Structure formats: C-alpha cells, structure tokens
Structure 1
Amino acid sequence: MKIRIIALGRAKAGPEKSLVETYRKRLSWPSELIELEAKKGITGAELMAAEADLIEKTLGAKASAKRVIIALDERGQSLPSLDFAKRITALGNHGYGELVFIIGGADGLAPSIRDRAGLLLSFGAMTWPHMLVRVLLMEQIYRAQTIIAGHPYHRD
C-alpha cells in the first residue's frame, strides 16, 4: 500500500513536523507528504478555489483505478481505529494500491475535492490545528498498519 498525503500549508520545524516524520519512518508502506500553498493575500471563496486548483493539479486529471482519495472533512465519517484498519484492508483486497489523503486549508475543502473523494473522514466534532491533523493522520495510518500486521502497538 502506498500512502500520499496532500496538505495545504508548509510545516515549519517543530514538534508537529518531527512527529509526522517519526511515524513516516515507522511505516513499512511507502509514504509521501506533499505540501501545497496558495498565493498569499487571498481569502474566503477565492482562497478555497485556489487551493482546490492546486489539489486538482497534484491529483492529476485522470482518476486512477488503483487509488482511492480520502478527504479529511468535518462532515466525514468518524471511524474507530480498528474500523479504519479494516477499511484499509478492504481497499487493498479490492485492488487499491494507493491511498491519497487530502488535508484542506483553514476554510476546508472545496465541494469539487470532496466530490472526488471515495471516503470523507473526520477526526471528530472538535476543531484541530491543521499541522496537528497531519500528526493524527500519520499516527492513525501507522496504527492501522500495525493492526493489520497483528503487531501489539494497538491495544483493545
């Protein structure tokens, strides 16, 4: 399984960036973090549209039969870790070799990006800083990998 995370904003050196790298190094699945930044000085709908364009260009025009797009969105499903691992297993069993996670900007994701997603995923009703969401996501991907492998990292 290949993991790609497309995230708006660039992480500065600090604990969040360090934790993301720690979990990336633990993963046996190949992973990539792609950071995108819209031009400065725009806000609201204009910013969301610019971010959507950047994401679309990164995804490419063609949908791949071997990848699934998972967008992090407050309206998405909130899955327990075991169910998240089961979902990843099921996707792999159905021939998907790549998971592309998308973390939007402060205003969220444009409807066009949400519509492309095969799964909308939420980390609950609380609002999280975008840099911390990267850590939460990477840890949950690592946790899913350990659950799938039967490793004792995750405890019921």
Structure 2
Amino acid sequence: MKIAIAAVGRMKAGPERELVARYLDRAIAGGRTLGLTGFEVIELTESRSGSAASRKTDEAKALSAAIPDGIIVALDERGKSIGSEAFANLVGRWRDDGRPAASFVIGGADGLHPDFVAKADLTLSFSPMVWPHQLVRIMLAEQLYRTTTILSGHPYHRGD
C-alpha cells in the first residue's frame, strides 16, 4: 500500500524539512518488508483567493486531484485522537484489506474545506490545539515511522 502525505504549503529548507525526511527515510526502509511503500510528500501551493472560504475550496480541489485513489485521512483538530498502536493497526488493516493507498492530508492556513473533511475516511487529530503545518508534518512522519516499527515488532515503540 502506498503512503502519501499531501500538504498545502511548502516547507523551506531547514531542520523541520530534514526531520520529516529523516523519519520518512526510516519509514521507507521499515515499510519495505511490510508492504508499505511510497511515503512521499505532495506539496501544494496555497490558494491566493481573496476569502478563506474560496481558498479552502481551491485547495480542496487541488488536494483531491493530487492524492492517489484510496483511503483519505484528513488531519484536523476536531478529528479523532487515537494512540500509536491503534493508528498502526488501522494502517495495517487497510493494507491487509488491499487498499491501494492511504493519503494523509494537511490543510493550509485556513484549514481543510468542510466537504473535503466530510468525505475523508478518517479525520485525525494530534491534539485539539492548532499546530503549524511544519510541526504536523514532523509529527505525522514520526507516527508513520512508528507505525512501521509497531507492525514489524521493532523495539522503537515502547508505549503501553
């Protein structure tokens, strides 16, 4: 199953981008034997529309066109919070069900369009707080790497 992170906004070169790359490189290496591939980042330019509503509409169209067919996970502070093992088991179940891809979608400064969130298979929250997209990407990349370690029985994950 192909894993993709689709994000509105581009990360500049620097420690945040390097940290995302480090975790995704680890996920790529760990995912090979698990049937998890890709771990690519799709970056989309923020809309220049005049209102937040029209920006979210433009960005939702661009996101829908950019992500592969399969599971859509919208990251939103109003979403469901789950633990790392439950997250890993969910990804493993999607893989085992033969889903071709899972796309994890991070909105722009205005967030994701409500219709896009409504059509997502899962709306996931890392916290009820709002986080900058750079930090969300880092946290997501780490959790995807952690997923590969949990599914493979690697000792990296030492949670309950």
Q: TM-score, normalised by structure 1?
A: 0.90
Report the 3-state secondary structure (helix = DSSP H, G, I; strand = E; otherwise coil) of the residue aligned with 2:63. Answer: helix
Aligned length: 151
List runs of 5+ in structure 1 lacking aligned partners: none
SS at match of 2:99: coil
Distance 2:11 2:46 in 1: 14
2:19 corresponds to 1:32:
no
- TM-superposed deviation, 1:56: 2.1
Deviation at residue 21 of structure 1 after TM alignment: 0.5
Match among 65, 73, 77 for residue 76 of structure 2: 73
CA deviation string 1:74-94 (max 9, x = no partner) = 121101101101111111121
Match of 2:2 in 1: 2
1:43-122 correspondence runs (5 A): 43-59=51-67, 64=69, 67-122=70-125
Structure 2: gaps spanning 5 or more residues: 29-36
Shift of 1:126: 1.6
Q: Secondary structure at the match of 1:7?
A: strand
In the alignment, the residues of structure 2 paired with residue 122 and residue 129 of structure 1 have an alpha-carbon distance, to the nearest angstrom, of 13
Superposed counterparts of 1:16-31, under 5 Å: 16-28=16-28, 29-31=37-39
CA RMSD of aligned residues (A): 1.5
Identity, in percent, stands at 46
Structure 1 residue 41 displacement after superposition: 5.7
